């Protein structure tokens, strides 16, 4: 008897929780009618419900999240042949599926060549390529960094899913809109959500690029000659002397132009002084000649 009563209560509960399809359809129509009424009266369109962020939880209740690490390294090498080393480095990187992002080679004041090479390699080949680059010459310094961006990546992914769901719901509302003001109002919300979605997708693409392809910056430098410079260079000495001569002329010109106002003012003051002194001498009274007393 008790079992029969329990079955009847359960049946009644299921009936109340799951109404007939016609009632469900009527309820959905009522909800849509209320949304349309809000749009037509100028009220804000209710934002679709934000979906819950993905849980990333496995069957055992343990979070299953792929760690997102951005790997970078900086390597300073001393090599005898910089152009040849760059070609060898290019070969190593290409074989591992990477590429040279940029190359900059220059000559210093002591005619020593140096170069900076930036390479991008798959993250799985990061250690292998770094070891191959070290073997090209004498390692002067090396540093590696690993930036964990897992938390940011998961958060951005959850936001992207939420905005995608919002956009789909707004598009469904747009299909049912009839009045012009309703369409404009819903389109405004669609544009806002689409803008945020584009921003999130751009950031995720940037992170994917940095995560999938690690960056290694290799600085190449020729070794310093033993005992300093290799002999005397007479032409270089003449060039340095000529450069010093013109440098001295430049200093004189700069000094002259700098002191020119002082020279002009000083000359004017001295000219006025000489003019006034000459004028005073011209107007000075002439003393009468002394008479000689005759005896």
Q: Would you state the pLDDT for residue 66?
A: 82
Residue 257 included in any domain: no
> In CATH, what number is assigned to the domain containing residue 137?
3.30.70
Separation between Cα atoms, residue 117 and residue 221, nearest integer Å = 11
Query: Domain for residue 129, yes or no?
Result: yes
CB 57 within 8 Å of CB 63: yes
Q: Which domain holds residue 110?
A: 71-146+214-221
Residue 5 in any domain: the answer is: no
pLDDT given at position 288: 56
> Is residue 139 in a domain?
yes
Supply the pLDDT for residue 277. 76
Would 21 be classed as within a structural domain?
no
Describe the strand order of the beta sheet including 138-148 as a list of residue ranges. 99-107, 113-122, 213-221, 69-78, 138-148
Structural contact between residues 125 and 97, judged by C-beta atoms closer than 8 angstroms: yes
Instruction: Name beta bridge partners: 107.
Output: 113
User: Helices 180-212 and 21-40 meet at what angle, rounded to 10?
Assistant: 100
d(CA 221, CA 211) in angstroms, rounded, equals 29
Each residue of 113-141: pLDDT tens digit?
Answer: 899 999 999 999 999 999 999 999 999 99
Residue 114 lies in a domain: yes
Please state the domain count of the chain.
1
- For residue 39 the two structure tokens come to 């749009």
Closest Cα to residue 102, out of 218, 244, 181?
A: 218
Q: Which of 126, 133, 5 is nearest to 70 (CA)?
A: 126
Q: What confidence score (pLDDT) does residue 64 get? A: 56
Burial class (CB in 10 A: 0-12, 13-18, 19+), 286: exposed
Report the alpha-carbon distance of residue 130 to residue 167 in Å, rounded. Answer: 45
The pLDDT value recorded for residue 190 is 93
What's residue 276's pLDDT?
79
The per-residue pLDDT for 43 is 45
pLDDT at 21: 36
Instruction: Kindly report, residue by residue over 183-207, the tens digit of the pLDDT.
Output: 899 999 999 999 999 999 999 999 9
Q: Which pLDDT value is given to residue 250?
A: 87
pLDDT tens string, the chain, 295 residues long: the values are 333 434 433 443 443 333 333 343 333 333 333 444 444 444 444 545 444 444 444 444 444 568 899 999 999 999 999 999 999 999 999 999 999 999 999 887 777 889 999 999 999 999 999 999 999 999 999 999 999 999 999 999 999 999 999 999 999 998 888 889 888 999 999 999 999 999 999 999 999 999 999 999 999 998 877 555 555 566 667 878 888 888 889 889 988 888 888 888 888 888 888 787 777 777 655 555 555 444 4
- Is 119 inside a domain boundary? yes
Q: Residue 38 has what pLDDT? A: 43
207 in a structural domain: no
């Amino acid at each position: 008897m008790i079992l029969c009563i329990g079955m009847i209560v359960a049946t009644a509960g299921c009936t109340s929780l799951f109404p007939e399809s016609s009632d469900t359809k009527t309820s959905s129509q009522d909800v849509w009618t209320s949304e349309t009424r809000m749009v037509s009266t100028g009220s804000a369109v209710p934002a679709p419900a934000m979906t819950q962020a993905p849980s990333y939880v496995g069957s055992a209740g343990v979070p299953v999240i792929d760690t997102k690490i951005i790997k970078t390294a900086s390597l300073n090498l001393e090599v005898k042949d910089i152009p040849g080393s760059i070609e060898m480095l290019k070969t190593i990187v290409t074989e591992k599926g990477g590429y040279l992002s940029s190359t900059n080679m220059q000559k210093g004041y002591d005619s020593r060549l140096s170069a900076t090479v930036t390479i991008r390699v798959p993250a799985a080949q990061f250690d292998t390529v770094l070891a191959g680059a070290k073997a090209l010459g004498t390692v002067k310094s090396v540093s590696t960094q690993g930036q964990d961006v897992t938390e940011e990546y998961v958060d951005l992914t959850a936001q992207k899913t939420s905005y995608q769901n919002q956009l789909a719901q707004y598009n469904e509302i747009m299909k049912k809109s009839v009045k012009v003001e309703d369409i404009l109002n819903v389109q405004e919300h669609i544009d806002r959500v689409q803008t945020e979605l584009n921003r999130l997708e751009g950031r995720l693409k940037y992170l994917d690029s940095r995560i999938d392809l690690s960056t290694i910056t290799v600085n190449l430098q020729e070794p310093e000659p033993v005992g300093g410079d290799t002999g005397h260079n007479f032409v270089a000495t003449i060039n340095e002397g000529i450069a010093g001569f013109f440098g001295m002329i430049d200093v004189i010109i700069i000094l002259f132009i700098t002191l020119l106002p002082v020279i002009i003012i000083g000359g004017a003051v001295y000219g006025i002084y000489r003019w006034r002194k000459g004028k005073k001498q011209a107007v000075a009274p002439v003393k009468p000649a002394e008479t000689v007393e005759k005896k």
